[in-house]
Structure 1
Amino acid sequence: MLIYDQQRTTIVNLTSIKFIEVYVDNSNDIYKICCDYKGELFSLGNYKSVIGVATIMNEILAAYEKNKRVFYMPIDLEES
């Protein structure tokens, strides 16, 4: 499955990454969904709500289990 990042600039192949993690940026109150991409930490999307991050992580898993080909990281609705 391919994951298209939040800015729609990079596509990451899920089978080529080792992990997806959530990092907390306390100074800006932002939760970052990150993965290892080409040997570096890469941000798939930034969100303001921990509940939103949990929902998105569940959506990624559900899309993977349904054999979806592409998952588009959603825009943070709290910012729009």
Structure 2
Amino acid sequence: MSERNDHTQLKAVWRQYKGRIVGLLSAFLFALLWVIFNFATAALVFIIAGIGYLVGAYFDGKLDVREWLRFFTR
């Protein structure tokens, strides 16, 4: 029963801090790529990953392109 409670707590922490956890892991990965390769390669990897995320979110129905463009053209 304790294992289920731990899993429930872990899910609650993930829901509350999801953005921070993903941001931290992204920053760590970016820094690691920068050290191993160079800034241009690391930036290119993150730009391509970001485009991939946006395309995936669009096809999942989680991205409203008009609202997104309206946000950036204020």
- Of structures 1 and 2, the one with the larger relative CO (CA 8 A, separation 6+) is 1
TM (norm. structure 1) is 0.30
More strand by share: 1
TM (norm. structure 2) is 0.32
Structure whose alpha-carbon radius of gyration is higher? 2
